[in-house]
Amino acid sequence: MKTVFEPTKGMIPVDTSYCPGCGHGIAHRIIMECLEERGSLGNTIGVVPIGCSINAHHFMNVDMCESTHGRAPAIAAGIRRVHPDQVVFTYQGDGDLASIGTAEIIHAAHRGEKFTTFFINNAIYGMTGGQMAPTTLIGQKTTTSIYGRTVEQAGLPLRMCEILSQIDCAVFVERVILNNPANVRKAKAVVKKALDIQDARLGFTFVEFLSACPTNWGLAPNDAIKFVEKNMADYYPVRNFKTPEGF
């Protein structure tokens, strides 16, 4: 019989530790499928963050290391200096990247580091149980903003693609959304493009995924998807911000 589908060898065949409806599994899979399709599983080094996806190294079938909170881009810069020829990436959540790790991500972009950062924005701290993140939307209820985030108390959410695309040596910046199969396919094409641009060593490459966290949002998975589509995509426009010529 003809095989029409098989799981990617980029994912270790175990159950993930993620909640039902969480976007991490989808993001993991499309990144690993891209690496497998381009024959890169054997020459890739990944860095996982602090947060739910610290567990990614139990699922992603490549050499990986853990990081201290927010420091993944500095760690990847160190890896890149020892391994000029490998594929290098960081995988980071919004507490990790947009709060404690702002200096490291800004300066990785500033130096035009030749690695790719995959940024999972689910507008909340997941692993610690649903606290407000810099990306939490106005009005969104979290365990540290129980009446909803206000501008007066916490300012307006940070838009990382918009910030990073201002930095000249960040050459590819795009925001994608994980809400339906068509957009997941589009996200995969964006991941592939980011890795191709990394291969060309043109500068820093960054992909942000708008992603659901049903557990900490207190929403059923379907309603969480609607929140991503309506509320998140409204504040965080899904689009390409920057692509180098020829891509």
Rounded to whole angstroms, the Cα distance separating 52 from 39 reads 27
Q: Select 1 or 82, whichever has its Cβ closest to another protein.
A: 82
> In the complex, what is the shortest distance from the CB of residue 95 to another protein, in angstroms, rounded to a whole number?
16
Please report, as ranges, the residues that interact with another protein according to CB under 8 A: 41-45, 47, 54, 57, 61-68, 71, 74-79, 81-83, 85-86, 103-104, 106-107, 110-111
Q: Select 78 or 237, whichever has its Cβ closest to another protein.
A: 78
> In the complex, what is the shortest distance from the CB of residue 231 to another protein, in angstroms, rounded to a whole number?
32
Q: Select 71 or 149, whichever has its Cβ closest to another protein.
A: 71
Closest alpha carbon to 207 in 189, 185, 186, 191: 191
Closest alpha carbon to 57 in 68, 66, 69: 66
Handedness of CA 33, 37, 38, 42 (dihedral sign): positive
For the stretch 211-227, what's the b/e string if a residue is b when 16 or more beta carbons lie within 10 angstroms of its beta carbon? bbbbbbbebeeeebbeb
> In the complex, what is the shortest distance from the CB of residue 221 to another protein, in angstroms, rounded to a whole number?
25
Extract the tokens encoding 64.
Answer: 């990986």
SS3 state of residue 99? helix
> In the complex, what is the shortest distance from the CB of residue 228 to another protein, in angstroms, rounded to a whole number?
28
Q: Select 84 or 246, whichever has its Cβ closest to another protein.
A: 84
